[in-house]
Chain A
Amino acid sequence: MTTQVTTPVAATAHGPAAKQIPSPRSRRGASARRQLAILPFLLPALLLFGGLVLVPILLAIYTSLFKWNGFGGLPTNFVGLDNFVRLLGDEVFTGDLSRGLVLVLLSVLVQLPVALGLALLLNQQLRFRGLYRLIFFAPYVLSEVITGVLFTMVLSPNGGLVNKILAVFGVSGQTWLADPGRALLTLFFVVSWKYFGFHMILLLAGRQDIPPELDEAGMMDGASSWEIFRHITLPLLGPTIRISVFLSIIGAIQLFDMVWVLTGGGPIHSSETMAVTMFQYGFRRYEVGYASAISVAMFLISMVFALLYQRYVLRRDIEGAVTKAGAMP
């Protein structure tokens, strides 16, 4: 909301130490000068972003129109949109899309409620509450590759920890990552194990932002704890939940490290994601043009999702960032 600055010239004209209120024209000049002064500070980041993000994106879009094996400078065999047509007919890629969707749904329907439940639990006065928070957050600190290697050992059909524990209960011979029907779910489990702590901390922080007076007011009005949760806590946690879902979905779209280390995308593509397919075609089959087409597809999917999500779901939360209302003059 802009405010009109009136120049009380009459009031200050006689004051000895009166500051000169700048006239409108020089105020615009000051704003332009301020922006010019900011530019050198922005320049390094802009250069890095341009060189390491924008240029490769443009190159990938260019390469995706060619059939190229990656050697020798620039591609020469122009095939137009052939790579994209092939993409839409490739059952591995369409399988990737559906597997990605499954991972997203599982994240929202399973991982999020678990993280939310734990966050609410750990917000209460418990002994060793700090210790629990530490333990649940710890998996997030491990690198994805280390987690993957760790779980290949834990889930090993021969002598892995999980099978040893199950053997005590008489269940034997389970293959987790080697079973085409189970590989995706096992993958989801490992990814959740790594990230649920992060979402839990996020939701915990959001929960702590809710003033306790609101809970007290609810209790005084005779609301049960479920009603307090449903009508006070949950709506006020809305922004945090929406951010958490956003991060989960973007993460699921570009999932690579964990898949590569755990299963390599197999068996028979049952745990493959778009990023893994892209890697296989680009670096194993030397079909860089096709791999670039996959990367362009990933880019479009992520960008469309991010824009639509910000416009419609996060609209109230980030008012002013993408809309004019509430912006600074």
Chain B
Amino acid sequence: MNPTSLLRRRSFLGLAGAAAGAAFLQACHRDGAAASGKGKALEWWHIQNTDPMLSVWAQLAKGFEAAHAGVKINITPLENEAFKAKLTTVTQAGNPPDLFHSWGGGVLQQQVNAGLVKEFTGEAQAFLSNVSSNGVKLYQVDGKQCGVPYELGMVGFWYNKELFAKAGVSALPKTWSDLLGVVRQIKAAKIVPIALAGGDKWPAHFYWSYLAIRQGGVAGMAEAAKTGAFDGADFVTAGAKLQELVELEPFQPGFLGAKYMASDGQSAIMGNGQAAMELMGQWAPTIEAAYSTDKKGIGDKLGFFPFPALEGGKGSPSEVLGGCNGFAIGKNAPPEAFEFVKHLLSAESQRKVAAEGGVLPVTKGAEDAIKDPNLKLVHQALASATGFQLYLDQAYPPAIGQQVNDSVAALVARSETPEAVARAIAKTAKNQ
């Protein structure tokens, strides 16, 4: 090897190294420039990772950027479960995103206790007088406003009118025994009565939660939440009633492993017209369409009826199980975050999300934009609700919420008795 070729190779390697180093340094520097204040960047994590809301949020963000020069909004849309996992790691590391999705309740409380969210005070709080008070209350922790809703909704039965007619069901069920009768009728017509995502667990806990508030009333739930006494007679009865339903085998084959948002999951089965009904929140029509094979869902054939009354229960049939979708602002967020939230909650933006995204708005004056007749029904039921209970897996601290999900999943799989379910939840609640 002669010296000149060695030298050439060395200088070539040296150049390559210098180039790589320069590129690396430049990349670091570019990140630094964005954070240094030349342009404010806002990190926004939301869970609408499918259209139409995916595009609607993006458009609203662009509108805000156009009106406020120098602010850049970086959107990270995540699927529901992936969002929960990802948010957990960043919040436990103490580094929450600037604006992120929140359901309020026990999880928000834990985040507030750890000092991870900013409070809405003064002007930002005054703005909230325009927003539905039921929703606003869900985001208050110890009297402090720690988040805002953008949607207030409830859980009810979404059913396929065509399949109901095919099975000969003439009247919508008004009581729990009516419902069991309808299920038997549909099953006799060789149609899958209920679509359930047993694998995700939270769709199943809706049944138990509703039976619990029908049996014990929303007030009874609040009592139990305070003392941790989830093994009371009312809760055992709720489990027993659910067991009656499960024993009719009303769910689709493979329901124990089915997911909610998957191409062969609960919403896909509903959207493809393969099941007669599902108990789901107000987002059901949109998600059914998103996961159906023709991306349109069942269209006009979709109907809604509220959860029936329970004979002998202390609760009233106008009490609803529901929740909010909303936002919380992370502790590192710039003040522009509050401005952005105001923008997202303005009557105009809310009309847009109601009309295009099938969202039930919370800002007063935006209700006229709801086009879907089913959603109008839901909105009416909400407006006339006498009691409101947040989904149990969000209302309570995460450990209890997860235990409710797990125990009800075991009940649905017929591997535990209603008493054992109630005891397991009470045990976790008392351990907190």
Residues A178 and B84 in contact, CB atoms below 8 Å apart: no
Partner of A177, one of B84, B110, B257: B257
Residues A266 and B92 in contact, CB atoms below 8 Å apart: no
List A contacts of B399 (CB < 8 A).
285-287
Q: A285 CA to B201 CA in the complex, in Å?
A: 14
Closest Cβ neighbor of B402 among chain A residues: A285
List A contacts of B94 (CB < 8 A).
71-73
List B contacts of A254 (CB < 8 A).
none
Residues A284 and B92 in contact, CB atoms below 8 Å apart: no
For A257-296 the 0/1 string (1 means CB < 8 A from B) is: 0000001101110000000000010011111100000000
List A contacts of B269 (CB < 8 A).
158
**A264-B199, A267-B198, A283-B88 known; A178+B115 contact, CB < 8 A:** no
Q: Does B89 lie at the interface of the complex (its beta carbon under 8 Å from any beta carbon of A)?
A: yes
Q: Which 8 residue pairs of A and B lie closest in terms of their CB atoms, listed nearest first?
A: A178-B257, A157-B254, A71-B114, A267-B256, A175-B254, A178-B254, A70-B92, A285-B399
Q: Does A302 lie at the interface of the complex (its beta carbon under 8 Å from any beta carbon of B)?
A: no
Residues A268 and B409 in contact, CB atoms below 8 Å apart: yes
Enumerate B78-95 residues with CB–CB distance to A below 8 Å: 84-85, 88-89, 91-92, 94
Interface core residue of B85, B255, B257 (most chain A CB under 10 Å): B257
Shortest B280–chain A CB gap in Å is 19
Q: Does A123 lie at the interface of the complex (its beta carbon under 8 Å from any beta carbon of B)?
A: no
Closest Cβ neighbor of B200 among chain A residues: A264
10 sample A-B contacts, Cβ–Cβ < 8 Å, listed by A number: A69-B110, A71-B94, A158-B269, A160-B264, A178-B254, A178-B255, A180-B256, A267-B199, A268-B413, A283-B92
Q: Does B155 lie at the interface of the complex (its beta carbon under 8 Å from any beta carbon of A)?
A: no
List A contacts of B111 (CB < 8 A).
71
Closest Cβ neighbor of B198 among chain A residues: A267
Other than the known A179-B257, A266-B256, what 16 A-B pairs have Cβ atoms closer than 8 Å?
Answer: A69-B110, A71-B92, A71-B113, A71-B116, A153-B264, A160-B264, A178-B199, A263-B199, A267-B198, A268-B256, A268-B409, A268-B410, A284-B84, A285-B398, A285-B402, A286-B110
Q: Does B258 lie at the interface of the complex (its beta carbon under 8 Å from any beta carbon of A)?
A: yes
List B contacts of A173 (CB < 8 A).
253
Q: Does B397 lie at the interface of the complex (its beta carbon under 8 Å from any beta carbon of A)?
A: yes
For B379-414 the 0/1 string (1 means CB < 8 A from A) is: 000000000000000000111001100000110010
Interface core residue of B84, B115, B201, B258 (most chain A CB under 10 Å): B258
Q: Does B415 lie at the interface of the complex (its beta carbon under 8 Å from any beta carbon of A)?
A: yes
Shortest A186–chain B CB gap in Å is 10
List B contacts of A178 (CB < 8 A).
198-199, 253-258
List B contacts of A159 (CB < 8 A).
264
What is the size category of the interface that chain B forms with chain A? 20 to 34
For A125-164 the 0/1 string (1 means CB < 8 A from B) is: 0000000000000000000000000001100111110000
Interface of A is mostly: loop
Q: A157 CA to B253 CA in the complex, in Å?
A: 7
Partner of B413, one of A180, A263, A264: A180
For A173-195 the 0/1 string (1 means CB < 8 A from B) is: 10101111001000000000000
Q: A157 CA to B258 CA in the complex, in Å?
A: 9
Enumerate A41-70 residues with CB–CB distance to B below 8 Å: 69-70
List B contacts of A288 (CB < 8 A).
92
Enumerate B142-175 residues with CB–CB distance to A below 8 Å: none
Shortest B261–chain A CB gap in Å is 13
Q: A221 CA to B84 CA in the complex, in Å?
A: 68
List B contacts of A71 (CB < 8 A).
91-92, 94, 110-111, 113-114, 116
Shortest B270–chain A CB gap in Å is 13
Enumerate B205-263 residues with CB–CB distance to A below 8 Å: 253-258, 262
Closest Cβ neighbor of B272 among chain A residues: A158
Residues B398 and A158 in contact, CB atoms below 8 Å apart: no
For A69-91 the 0/1 string (1 means CB < 8 A from B) is: 11111000000000000000000
List B contacts of A183 (CB < 8 A).
257
Shortest A125–chain B CB gap in Å is 43
Shortest B250–chain A CB gap in Å is 15
List A contacts of B92 (CB < 8 A).
70-71, 283, 288
Q: A175 CA to B415 CA in the complex, in Å?
A: 18
List A contacts of B415 (CB < 8 A).
180, 268
Closest Cβ neighbor of A271 among chain B residues: B257
Q: A284 CA to B94 CA in the complex, in Å?
A: 17
Shortest A265–chain B CB gap in Å is 10
Q: A180 CA to B113 CA in the complex, in Å?
A: 39
Residues A284 and B402 in contact, CB atoms below 8 Å apart: yes
Partner of B199, one of A72, A160, A266, A285: A266
Closest Cβ neighbor of A183 among chain B residues: B257
Partner of A72, one of B114, B254, B413: B114
Residues B398 and A72 in contact, CB atoms below 8 Å apart: no
List B contacts of A179 (CB < 8 A).
256-257
Enumerate B100-116 residues with CB–CB distance to A below 8 Å: 110-111, 113-116
**A178-B257, A179-B256 known; A267+B114 contact, CB < 8 A:** no
Shortest A278–chain B CB gap in Å is 14
Shortest A311–chain B CB gap in Å is 38
List A contacts of B84 (CB < 8 A).
284
List A contacts of B115 (CB < 8 A).
72
Shortest B416–chain A CB gap in Å is 8
Shortest A119–chain B CB gap in Å is 34
**A71-B114, A263-B199, A266-B409 known; A286+B397 contact, CB < 8 A:** yes
Residues A286 and B410 in contact, CB atoms below 8 Å apart: no
Shortest A123–chain B CB gap in Å is 40
Q: A1 CA to B330 CA in the complex, in Å?
A: 65
Residues A267 and B110 in contact, CB atoms below 8 Å apart: no
Shortest B94–chain A CB gap in Å is 8
Residues B264 and A156 in contact, CB atoms below 8 Å apart: yes
Closest Cβ neighbor of B397 among chain A residues: A286
List B contacts of A263 (CB < 8 A).
199, 257
Enumerate B57-102 residues with CB–CB distance to A below 8 Å: 84-85, 88-89, 91-92, 94
Residues B88 and A158 in contact, CB atoms below 8 Å apart: no
